[in-house]
Amino acid sequence: MSVRHALLALLSEGPKYGAQLRQEFEARTGEVWPLNVGQVSTTLQRLERDGLVEAVDGDPGPQHGFRISAAGRDELDRWLRTPPDTWAPPRDELVIKVLIAMTLPEVDIRDVVQTHRRRFLEAMQQYTKVKRALAEDDVATALVVDAEAYRLEAIVRWLDAADARLSRIARPVAPVPRTAPAPERTAARR
């Protein structure tokens, strides 16, 4: 989540104070990404340093308002129109956990996969309940809930695929470190 760009978007509507930006950010993101005042203040200072926002003239002290600059409008436009990078896989803790667990002889990898699968299914059910309880006009929260439900569904599908793949193979052998010496072939020479 780019707080910096979200603040630029809010400032594109007109000058605002830090506390106002924090409140509007939380309201517009379905109140699922809370920001603290320090984060908003630090981000505004960096945006000002980078020439993307300007302090509103006549507002003395640390609680002055900000407005977006021309460079800030250009940056916001670039951000809105540039798709996120999807080529490099993220450092996904679950993927790393499964990859490491499958190399540990004392770990039942399929149990690890199923344990996580159950937890993600429970989370999907919780989001379904939240979605049912939403007011029809709460579009921001509905979009956040939809995104999270689809993300969880994708994780469950990956866990299903991992479980199917793991069930077709014998217990994988831990990879040999690349620095390990090659095994001796003395028995074959005799």
Does residue 52 surpass a pLDDT of 90?
A: yes
47-51, 89-93, 107-111, 123-127: which range is least confident on average? Answer: 89-93
Q: How many angstroms separate the most distant Cα atoms in the chain?
A: 93
| Contact in structure between 8 and 47 (CB atoms under 8 Å) | yes
How confident is the model over 117-141, as a mean pLDDT?
A: 92
User: What pLDDT is stored for residue 84 in this prediction?
Assistant: 82
In tens, the pLDDT along 132-155 reads: 999 999 888 899 899 999 999 999
- With b for 16 or more beta-carbon neighbours within 10 A and e for fewer, the 94-125 pattern comes to eeeebeebbeeeeeebeebbeebbeebeebbe
Domain ranges (residues) in the chain: 3-81, 93-168
CATH number for the region 3-81 comes to: 1.10.10.10
Beta strand pairing call for 66-68 and 53-55? antiparallel
| Contact in structure between 67 and 14 (CB atoms under 8 Å) | yes
Residue bearing the bigger pLDDT, 36 or 1: 36
**Banded pLDDT at 180 (limits 50, 70, 90):** low
| Contact in structure between 27 and 88 (CB atoms under 8 Å) | no
How confident is the model over 41-52, as a mean pLDDT?
A: 94
